[in-house]
Amino acid sequence: MINYLFLLISFFMFWISMLVFTLILFRQKVKDHTYKMIVCSLLMTHVSIISFTLQSLKMPNYMILFQPVCFIIFYYYIFKIQFLHTLIVTLAVYTINFIAEVSLYLFYTRFHIAEFLEIAQAAEILPLFYLLIINVVLSTVLYKFRIGFTFVPFRKISRSAFTNIKRNTFFLVSSGLFIVIFGTATVVFLHASVLAGLTSVSMFMVLLFHHLYNREIRE
């Protein structure tokens, strides 16, 4: 239970830092996309839990593509930018994080290739905090010196639209989402199938909340 909650919080904080980095890298105001970041981070947190479990079960190496593919899908669906721009954003941030992670392994192993490959394949949580710090540092530097790209247009939710959300819908869906995630946390590691099922339900609840939210602001 404690281990799962630790993973849940760790992955959520990492994805928040990752999404903040994507927005600042492409010269966006973070506060204009707060809601989208939270929804996308919740979804990617559960994807990361699934990936972490698959890694512990020694699944095939091609399953490493599961996480970036989900990131592309969720980013495209939630932030509503062109698919090509979604690929550009994903490629940029994943490349930077990949270089940072590889640099950590090479420095730790003192450039011994055999040890590098062994650690890279066995690494689990440590790189997560390292990459979180890297994302925060890079975001701070980019924001302070106003460095970034402007060719990727983002759509933002206006303040007036945000205030039009019906409180009952927000409360009911948020409560349901919390209950599902808490339920997942209590029984998640009893069996792999339980993890897959409850995580899928949690992700469905997040998507349902996002759908109802968009419907409310359109009305």
- Which of 134, 155, 176 is the last residue before a domain boundary? 155
Same domain, yes or no, for 142 and 188?
no
For the chain, what is the largest distance between any 2 Cα atoms, rounded to a whole number of angstroms?
60
- Which of 128, 155, 182 is the last residue before a domain boundary? 155
Same domain, yes or no, for 181 and 201?
yes
Which range of residues forms the domain containing residue 31?
A: 2-155
Find out whether 105 and 119 touch, Cβ atoms under 8 Å. yes
pLDDT band at 61 (very low <50, low <70, confident <90, very high): low
Spacing of C-alpha 65 from chain mean position: 14
- Which of 155, 179, 200 is the last residue before a domain boundary? 155
pLDDT higher than threshold 90 for residue 140: yes
Same domain, yes or no, for 151 and 163?
no
**Torsion 127-37-147-145 (CA) sign:** negative
Task: Tell me the three state secondary structure of residue 123.
Answer: coil
Same domain, yes or no, for 123 and 181?
no
Same domain, yes or no, for 113 and 187?
no
Q: Is the pTM of this model over 0.85?
A: no
pLDDT higher than threshold 50 for residue 199: yes
Work out the average pLDDT over 26-31: 92
136-171: b or e for each residue (b if 16 or more CB lie within 10 Å)?
eebbeebbeeeeeeeebebeeeeeeeeeebeeeeee
Highest-scoring range by mean pLDDT, 8-12, 16-20, 60-64, 177-181: 16-20
More confident residue, 106 or 24: 24
